[in-house]
């Protein structure tokens, strides 16, 4: 079966949803503020005759209609990073500040880690973890190309991540950009639809719950945890949040994203979820002509402690 069929009851316009999923995605690059401003990137693109369009909702993100995001001087200088529009959302939701201690639990290949470092002005500490050593080398390459100096790279299972190697015992913010079924990337990689199975959904949901739980535990009271995936499956989104609400001291908070989104769903396949999961954002491909995505923001419970 095509897994997109099962999400038709969730979307407002089935035909537009299916049509968008069938279209390839444009190349998109994000400006790396550690090395350049959006104006300088634009100027360099213009001088080189590289076609580029602003995405409209963010002045540092450009669509490149002719593709080849790596074939230009801004890329060679590490001024830009090829990154799909929706992939830029979780770091914006996380909203890290210079000096923060941040955990990126599933960090490879580093698009979000490097964006987090950029938002921190490369000051403070971002701990980029991934359990896959091979994918960590891609992360290292990207971090060096973009000139990130405030990242620590670790190779642990995020579900029982140890802060022992670190100079502190809690994070201010954590991002769980979880491994998932990835149907939201079907415009880039249609194979994900062929390879999709319900067994995998249930298996990976267990991993997601374990990682989100650990992220909440490793973040200080009053701190922020962002949970994101590129799947439409409620089993991997709202159900994972519902599990965290039931087992950990945390709440889902309202937040704005600069794109058109739909709220999280409270019912799916005979299950019901806590009402606050509607504060999560579902991003459907037909709403903004992007990939598909899910993003929610949590506040870790307890009184805020200053450090």
Partner 1 sequence: MTGSDAADGDQEPTNDGQRFDRLPETPADREVAGRPSREEVLDWWETRFGIGREVLDGYSFWEKGAGKVWVFNGEAVDPSRVEAIGMTFLRTRQEHWKPTTRAVQRFGEHATKNVVELGPERASRFLAGEDQDLPEWDGDWGYLIVSHRIAGGTAPIGVGLYLYDELRSVVPKGSRADLPVVEE
Annotated binding site for S-adenosyl-L-methionine: 106-112, 130, 157, 177
Minimum CB distance to partner 1, residue 79 (Å)? 8
Distance CA 4, CA 205 (A): 18
Verify whether residue 250 is a known catalytic residue: no
Q: What are phi and psi of 71, to 5 degrees?
A: -100, 50
Backbone dihedral angles phi then psi of residue 127, each to the nearest 5 degrees: -100, 110
Identify which of residues 1 and 133 has a Cβ nearer to partner 1 in the complex.
133
Q: What is the DSSP letter of 260?
A: -
Tell me 24's DSSP state. Answer: P
- The widest CA-to-CA distance across the chain, in whole angstroms, is 57
Site for partner 1 in 90-129 (CB under 8 A): 101, 122-126
Contacts of 233 (CB under 8 A, 6+ apart): 3, 7, 180, 181, 183, 201
Size of the site for partner 1 (CB under 8 A): 43
Half-sphere exposure of 19 (CA within 13 A, CB side): 8
x-or-dash string of contact with partner 1, 34-53, rule CB under 8 A: xx----xx-xx--xx-----
Q: Which residues contact 244 (CB under 8 A, 6 or more apart)?
A: 209, 212, 213, 216, 227, 250, 298
204 interacts with partner 1 by CB under 8 A:
no
| Minimum CB distance to partner 1 smaller for 2 or for 155 | 155
At its nearest, how many Å lie between partner 1 and the CB of residue 145?
7
Q: Which of residues 147-186 bind partner 1 (CB under 8 A)?
A: 147-155, 164-168
Count the residues in the chain. Answer: 307
Instruction: Tell me: does residue 144 bind partner 1 (CB under 8 A).
Output: yes
Distance CA 12, CA 8 (A): 8
Q: Which is nearer to partner 1, 148 or 225 (CB)?
A: 148
Residue with tokens 């060679």: 76
Least CB distance to partner 1 at residue 68 (A): 11
Stretch in the footprint of partner 1 (CB under 8 A) among 64-72, 213-221, 255-263, 289-297: 64-72
Catalytic residue among 180, 182, 230, 250: 230
Nearest distance from C-beta of residue 88 to partner 1, angstroms: 22
What residue ranges in 171-240 does DSSP mark as E strands? 171-177, 219-229
The yes or no reply on residue 83 touching partner 1 (CB under 8 A) is no
Nearer to partner 1, 131 or 231 (CB): 131
Q: How far apart are CA 31 and CA 211, in angstroms?
A: 29
Q: Which is nearer to partner 1, 148 or 233 (CB)?
A: 148
**Catalytic site residues?**
230
Residues lying near partner 1 in the complex (CB under 8 A): 34-35, 40-41, 43-44, 47-48, 70-73, 75-78, 101, 122-126, 133, 136, 140-141, 143-145, 147-155, 164-168
């Amino acid at each position: 079966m095509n897994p997109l069929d099962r999400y038709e009851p969730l979307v407002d316009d089935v035909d537009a949803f299916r049509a968008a999923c069938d279209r390839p995605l444009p190349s998109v690059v994000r400006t790396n503020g550690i090395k350049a401003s959006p104006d300088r990137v634009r100027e360099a693109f213009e001088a080189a005759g590289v076609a580029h369009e602003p995405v409209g909702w963010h002045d540092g993100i450009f669509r490149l209609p002719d593709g080849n995001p790596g074939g230009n001087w801004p890329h060679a200088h590490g001024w830009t990073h090829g990154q799909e529009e929706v992939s830029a959302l979780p770091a914006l939701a996380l909203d890290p500040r210079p000096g923060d201690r941040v955990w990126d639990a599933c960090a490879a290949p580093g698009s979000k880690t490097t964006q987090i470092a950029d938002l921190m002005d490369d000051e403070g500490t971002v701990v980029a973890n991934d359990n896959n050593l091979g994918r960590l080398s891609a992360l290292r390459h990207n971090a060096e190309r973009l000139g990130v100096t405030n990242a620590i790279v670790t190779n642990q299972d995020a579900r029982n991540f140890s802060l022992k190697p670190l100079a502190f015992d809690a994070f201010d913010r954590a991002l769980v950009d979880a491994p998932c079924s990835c149907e939201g990337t079907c415009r880039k990689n249609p194979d994900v639809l062929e390879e999709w199975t319900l067994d995998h959904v249930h298996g990976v949901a267990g991993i997601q719950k374990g990682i989100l739980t650990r992220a909440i535990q490793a973040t200080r009271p009053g701190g922020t945890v962002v949970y994101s995936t590129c799947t439409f499956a409620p089993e991997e989104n709202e159900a994972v949040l519902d599990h965290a609400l039931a087992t950990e001291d945390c709440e889902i908070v309202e937040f704005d994203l600069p794109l058109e989104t739909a709220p999280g769903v409270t019912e799916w396949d005979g299950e019901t979820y806590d009402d606050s999961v509607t504060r999560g954002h579902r991003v459907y491909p037909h709403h903004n002509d992007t990939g598909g995505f899910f993003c929610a923001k949590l506040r870790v419970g307890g009184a805020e402690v200053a450090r």
